[in-house]
Structure 1
Amino acid sequence: MALGGNPVFNGKNFRSATRGNAAAGFGTTTYAGQTVANQQQLEHMYNQPSAGPAQTGRMTFDDVIVKTLLSLGVVLVGAAIPAFLVPGLALPLMVLGALGGFVLGLVNSFKREPSPALILAYAGLEGLFLGGLTMFFESMFPGIALQALLGTLIVFGVTLALFKSGKVRATPKAMKFFLIAIISYAAFSLLNLGLMVFGATDGMFGLRSADIPGTNIPFGLVMGLLAIGLAAFSLIVDFTSISEGVRQGAPQKYSWTAAFGLTVTLVWLYVEILRLLAILRGDE
């Protein structure tokens, strides 16, 4: 047997096919070359790194960072409009931004699927609000805008460092206290706003402007520090959600949700620091 012990390979038809293949250039040498090439391709494929989250459409930290920076960039652009482009319209733009941002904030919070357009629109409206508010306080207390911005960056950096070190976590027990505290703070803020609207208080900041009985310490100082602490813990909650989303392979589109959450918290943190500084500098 010319081709070995298997009688199947000794038939006439197989020999004819082999000769035909050889004539066409598909002989034993070519087949061996193809085998070597295929083995090299397989080895190359095995040596390639595994597909990462970006290749599989999953959320990554890079996605969240890029989208958060984009959202904050839109906030800065919105803030520049009342601050530098049309300062004469700062007040109406601030009101428009506050009301529009509140509405879109609720819409984005309750949407099941994130909408990049609505999230960026929210960022732009919040920018209008922050720009008008900042210029109002800057006219009264020069340099307060830079102080508030630096304070926000410092709190963000310290909070991120504590989270990465593992010293602060959004545990179930901590979340219970956080929810109780934030609901209480929201109730106080609504009450204080109502008293200010109806003229029941004389201070610029309502109850916050009054001193704690028996002391010279403004009540707003205590509430401001509490609010900054709540905003900082809210950042911890955001960081925890982002880490869990990346670890569990959440779809890439939810990086917009993470960016929205961080933007909301950072806007809140900036406003609280700005107000606290204004209360502390109120006697200037």
Structure 2
Amino acid sequence: MRSGNPTLQESTFLDLASGSVVTRDSEAMTLNGTVNKTGLLLLLAVLTAAFAWTQSVAPDGTPTASFGLYAWGGAIGGLILALVTVFKKTWAPVTAPMYALVEGCFLGAISAMFEARFPGIVMQAVMLTFGTLFALLAVYRSGLIKATENFKLGVAAATGGIALVYLATIVLGLFNIQVPLIHESGLVGIGFSLFVVVVAALNLVLDFDFIETGVEHGAPKYMEWYGAFGLMVTLVWLYVEFLRLLAKLQSRD
């Protein structure tokens, strides 16, 4: 099984069981357990996001001195914890909640900034994110979308391409070189954001497939945390991309 989400890969279950199926018992991964842990991670992220929101932007909409701490600290801290979780899956019961708490700081800071510039945009992005989550879950459960090998390869390739574009943007930005068009509010920029949103949304299908496969293989209990963490990573990405897309659309008004 391939997954476009770099945290969820085919080798995960093979590494856990040395290529065999893990024995099912009371300590095995379950769907309900993964759902519950996903809900807990989202709650932790919301709590720290609410706090960071109040600390990052002044009443007049200008960023406070703490904005950089929460935005960059949350982003870098979240990346470090994500990498630790990927390479040390057995630590997921500890690192996944820590990731949610730290990433919440990042989300709260940037959400406050977007909201100051475009009132109402955060609620729209939240509704679109969870609307997409539940819509794709319903479609996946109905069998209308199946995570075939070709589907997984296509989404993985598109995800990797987007990651390279964003990496190039960051590196060039260090030299004050701006990538034209795709990050602007023109038709090309909006089209690019729509493409990224679609790819991020399709990663949810791969996340559902990964979790379902883990349950079928009787993966260890801590993999519930790892599956919830992987889904959380995709939801964060999808939410941020919705914010960017809505901001571009509102900038054209």
TM-score (norm 2): 0.82
- Alignment check: 8 A CA contact 2:56 2:112 kept: no
Report the secondary structure of 1:199's partner residue: coil
Is 2:247 the counterpart of 1:278? yes
Question: What residue number does 2:19 align with?
Answer: none
> In structure 1, how many angstroms separate the alpha carbons of the residues matched to 2:119 and 2:250?
10
- Alignment check: 8 A CA contact 1:201 1:207 kept: no
Amino acid at match of 2:131: I
Amino acid at match of 1:124: L
- The aligned length equals 223
- Alignment check: 8 A CA contact 2:125 2:242 kept: yes
- Alignment check: 8 A CA contact 2:56 2:70 kept: no
Inter-CA distance 164–202: structure 2 relative to 1 (3 Å threshold): closer
Match of 2:43 among 64, 69, 73: 73
> In structure 2, how many angstroms separate the alpha carbons of the residues matched to 1:210 and 1:183?
23
Map Cα deviations across residues 241-269 of structure 1 (whole Å, 9 max, x no partner): 11111122222221011110111010010
- Alignment check: 8 A CA contact 2:41 2:100 kept: yes
Amino acid at match of 1:141: F
Match of 2:214 among 229, 241, 245: 245
Q: Which gives a bigger RCO, structure 1 or 2 (Cα 8 Å, sep 6+)?
A: 2
In terms of Rg, which structure is larger? 1
Match of 2:183 among 208, 212, 216: 208
- Alignment check: 8 A CA contact 2:41 2:97 kept: yes
Is 2:54 the counterpart of 1:60? no
Question: What residue number does 2:190 align with?
Answer: 221
The answer to which of 190-199 and 143-152 deviates more is: 190-199
Question: What residue number does 1:12 align with?
Answer: none
- Alignment check: 8 A CA contact 2:30 2:224 kept: yes
Question: What residue number does 1:233 align with?
Answer: 202
Map Cα deviations across residues 223-246 of structure 1 (whole Å, 9 max, x no partner): 211111111111111111111111
CA displacement at 1:195 relative to structure 2: 3.3
Map Cα deviations across residues 125-169 of structure 1 (whole Å, 9 max, x no partner): 110000000011111000000010011011111110110011112
> In structure 2, how many angstroms separate the alpha carbons of the residues matched to 1:202 and 1:237?
30
- Alignment check: 8 A CA contact 1:94 1:133 kept: yes
Match of 2:157 among 159, 176, 180: 180
Runs of 4+ more than 4 Å apart: none
- Alignment check: 8 A CA contact 1:93 1:129 kept: yes
Match of 1:82 among 52, 66, 72: 52
Provide the identity percentage: 35
> In structure 2, how many angstroms separate the alpha carbons of the residues matched to 1:194 and 1:210?
21
> In structure 2, how many angstroms separate the alpha carbons of the residues matched to 1:142 and 1:86?
16
Is 2:119 the counterpart of 1:149? no
Unaligned runs of 5+ in 2: 1-23, 58-63
Map Cα deviations across residues 19-43 of structure 1 (whole Å, 9 max, x no partner): xxxxxxxxxxxxxxxxxxxxxxxxx
Map Cα deviations across residues 195-222 of structure 1 (whole Å, 9 max, x no partner): 334322398xx742064xxxxx1x2212
> In structure 2, how many angstroms separate the alpha carbons of the residues matched to 1:207 and 1:97?
25
> In structure 2, how many angstroms separate the alpha carbons of the residues matched to 1:234 and 1:262?
9
> In structure 2, how many angstroms separate the alpha carbons of the residues matched to 1:85 and 1:62?
35
Question: What residue number does 1:190 align with?
Answer: 167
Amino acid at match of 2:193: G
Report the secondary structure of 1:180's partner residue: helix
- Alignment check: 8 A CA contact 1:114 1:256 kept: no
Question: What residue number does 1:34 align with?
Answer: none
Amino acid at match of 1:116: P
Unaligned runs of 5+ in 1: 1-52, 212-216
